[in-house]
Amino acid sequence: MQKRELYSVENGKLVRKRKFCPKCGPGVFLAEHENRLSCGRCGYTEIKVK
């Protein structure tokens, strides 16, 4: 995945498409899997609730 796929421009503003890791802080995105979100840096994981 390329970095440009993580952002979009809407109404002249930069919009981030993914959530940041709450432990690592801004700049580290959570990877989206089928049933969870996970951080590749620290291992933080959130389970998706349907």
Which tens digits make up the pLDDT trace of 16-26?
999 999 999 99
Report the predicted TM-score, pTM, of the whole model to 2 decimal places. 0.76
Q: Who's near 17: CB < 8 A, 6+ residues apart?
A: 5, 6, 7, 8
Q: Give the C-alpha separation, 30 to 11, whole Å.
A: 25
Helices and strands (H and E) in the chain: how many: 0, 7
pLDDT of residue 1 exceeding 80: no
Percentage of the chain with pLDDT > 70?
100
Q: What is the mean pLDDT of residues 20-49?
A: 94
pLDDT of residue 50 exceeding 80: no
Q: Give the C-alpha separation, 42 to 3, whole Å.
A: 20
Q: What is the mean pLDDT of residues 23-41?
A: 94
Do β-strands 7-10 and 13-16 pair in parallel, antiparallel, or remain unpaired? Answer: antiparallel
